[in-house]
Structure 1
Amino acid sequence: MEDEPLIAFDNEYLLTDAGYEVIATVDSLAEAVRVLAEEAIDLVLSDIKLRGDGDGMDVARAAAAKNVPVLFVTGNCPVEAHSLGIGCLAKPYTDKILKNALAALDRKLQGGEVKRVPAGLSLYQHPV
């Protein structure tokens, strides 16, 4: 979930090129809720700011109802996000940092230990 079209396009291209399956790129809570209801999703990347009503915190609540972890990708992660997401990746970030952050999250979600947290990534002790 990203409200900036160029960032959304770049992320989708990068993730697809890195071998990830991008189910959808949306910019509103309503679209996010629809995709969460219709698709099998392993992880949601969400900005805090979104278009229209609702925000990334609302997306995280909807994802939690489906047991889908959320990585917030934002310039300023609010304290409330610690109880809703698996972590936060600070903007701006490079392609390499995003890939490394996703690799660390994958290790964490698989039950492994993350020995080195990539720059800009904060991991939360939130159960998935």
Structure 2
Amino acid sequence: MLFGKRERAICRILVVEDEPLVAFDNEYRLADAGYEVVATVDNLVDALRVIETEALDLVLSDVRLSGEGDGIDVARAAAAKGVPVLFVTGNCPEEAQSLAVGCLAKPYTDKELKAALDVLDRKLSGEEVKKVPGGLSLYAKAGAKPD
């Protein structure tokens, strides 16, 4: 594409985070970068409701959540709907590799989050990703949006 921005594959994001400050920061950072935050929730039940009822392009989820269930459960539900997941956590479980498109290590900066989303957007659009920002691990198969 010549001049201008290419169309994003990721526009509508569900944030699943149990730390209020991190959730607030993510909401602000994502909105500031032009993403639509469909909802921000802190538990599995609310995440499942949003996944079932909303059109989503990405779920940004911590692994640890409030109440019953965790981010792995969220990722399973999202995968069943064909919605890719990016885990944001201090310790990404091995199981994440089969459920998510990647994992962004906490703590991360605004710049690192935006760079990670840009790389994921390119990957989900079918582009080859040559450079991955620090703190981001990409996984081969998982979470790719269905055609």
Deviations 1:14-38 (A, max 9, x none): 1001100000000000000000111
CA distance in 2: counterparts of 1:92 and 1:123, whole angstroms: 17
> When you count strand as a share of all residues, which structure comes out higher?
2
**Alpha-carbon displacement from aligned partner over 1:70-103 (angstroms, at most 9, x marks no partner):** 0000000010110000000000000000000000
Q: Which residue of 1 aligns with 2:31?
A: 16
> Does 2:44 correspond to 1:32?
no
CA–CA separation in structure 2 for the residues paired with 1:18 and 1:114: 20
Provide structure 1 residue ranges, at least 5 long, that are not aligned to the other structure: none
RMSD: 0.6
| Correspondence for 1:114 among 121, 129, 135 | 129
Q: Please state if 1:79 is matched with 2:94.
A: yes
Moved over 2 A (4+): none
1:53 aligns with 2:68: yes
Give the match for residue 89 of structure 1. 104
Structure ranking higher in helix proportion: 1
User: Which ranges of structure 2 fall in alignment gaps of 5 or more residues?
Assistant: 1-15
> Structure 1-normalised TM-score?
0.99
How far has the Cα of 1:126 moved from its partner?
1.8
Q: CA deviation at 1:114?
A: 1.0
